[in-house]
Chains A and B, each alone.
Chain A
Amino acid sequence: MRPTPSSGSARAVAMVAMLVAVAAVLGIVESSLVPALPIPGVRLGLANLAVVLALSLVGRAAALRVSVLRVVVVALATGALGGPAFAMALSGAVASWVVMAWLAGLRTVSPIGWSVAGAAAHVSAQLVVASLITGSGAALLFAPVSLALALGCGLVIGYASRLLLSRLPLVYPEFGTR
């Protein structure tokens, strides 16, 4: 990872706030769309774009803040706070952050790899939590399809974030180059 601003600096706080706003808007937009497939937990994961950017531009702790705050803001906006859907979203957010933060420390993996692994961790955690909530293993029947879709969605978001990371410095020179 590139040198990142210290977490308490005004710049880091501003960037986290901005990325939470972006993630929340993307999350709310996505939650208002009708999911393409009737499988719990499968979404394109637009909001993960902001988490990948946070991980790359600010650091691990910032990415966790962006991810968790985004889930809370989206839940507040959609009225899902505290419900089963909130538990699924939160577990997915934390699981994908754990995997992405780990991969971000490895030099050989780029944001595309983070995104794919994060998406896979996200759906896996959601299916496990859905199984716990429903008290039956039926949700796990969707695991192969969900993981295959996570691969596709993760690649899309990964390439999108790579594009953004390469273009951002053109608009905002202070983002520097990777």
Chain B
Amino acid sequence: MTRGDRIVVAVVVILAIAAWPLAGLAAGRAAAVAVITGPYATYRVPLDTSRRVDVRGLESTVTVVVGAGSVRVAESGCRDRLCVRRGAIDAAGAAIVCAPNGVTVRIGGRDDAPDALIR
């Protein structure tokens, strides 16, 4: 590894650390609501309810299940199904992204402040 390579590695490490606040931005608050954003509609579902939402995505329908304080993607027609494999999330600031369908699921606090901060 040359000196230049070490500088490149150091820059990437610094970027990764600098990006950390992005992940921490929405954490630290009580999880209260699942914010489901699709290309055609946005849903806010309180986590203490039990509900199944079929979200129309770009390629297929994404089925999101809210219940018992957590939210997960139960079914999606996308290729890699990363969203389904992510499993259930229950912490404030956690997110599930189904990029092929343009659907995201995020957990927000009572006031759902991250909407204003992240966008």
Chain A interfacial positions (CB closer than 8 Å to B): 34-35, 38-41, 78, 80, 83-85, 88, 103, 106-110, 112-113, 116-117, 120, 130, 133-145, 147-148, 150-151, 154-155, 158
Residues of B within 8 A of A113 (CB): 1-2, 4-5, 7-9
Interface string of B87-101 (1 = CB under 8 A from A): 100000111111111
- Top 4 nearest A-B pairs (CB, nearest first) are A108-B4, A137-B118, A109-B4, A113-B5
> Are A38 and B104 within 8 A (Cβ)?
no
Known contacts: A116-B9, A134-B103, A151-B12. The answer to whether A144 contacts B17 by CB under 8 A is yes
The distance in angstroms between the C-alpha atoms of A94 and B16, with both chains bound, is 21
Known contacts: A40-B97, A110-B2. The answer to whether A134 contacts B104 by CB under 8 A is yes
Interface string of B1-39 (1 = CB under 8 A from A): 111110111011101110110110110000000000101
Interface class of chain A by DSSP = helix
Total A-B Cβ pairs within 8 A: 138
Chain A nearest Cβ from B2, distance in angstroms? 5
Residues of B within 8 A of A139 (CB): 95, 97, 99, 104
7 pairs of residues in contact across A and B, judged by CB atoms under 8 Å: A41-B99, A103-B4, A136-B37, A136-B104, A141-B22, A141-B94, A154-B12
Residues of A within 8 A of B119 (CB): 136-137
Known contacts: A108-B4, A109-B8. The answer to whether A140 contacts B118 by CB under 8 A is yes
> Are B15 and A147 within 8 A (Cβ)?
yes
Known contacts: A34-B80, A139-B99. The answer to whether A147 contacts B39 by CB under 8 A is no
Q: Which of the listed residues A40, A112, A137, A141 has the most CB atoms from chain B within 10 Å of its own CB?
A: A141
Which residue of A has the minimal Cβ distance to B80? Answer: A35
> Are A108 and B3 within 8 A (Cβ)?
yes
Chain A nearest Cβ from B13, distance in angstroms? 7
The distance in angstroms between the C-alpha atoms of A88 and B80, with both chains bound, is 14
Chain A nearest Cβ from B3, distance in angstroms? 6
> Are A83 and B2 within 8 A (Cβ)?
no
> Are A134 and B83 within 8 A (Cβ)?
no
The distance in angstroms between the C-alpha atoms of A133 and B38, with both chains bound, is 10
Chain B nearest Cβ from A79, distance in angstroms? 8
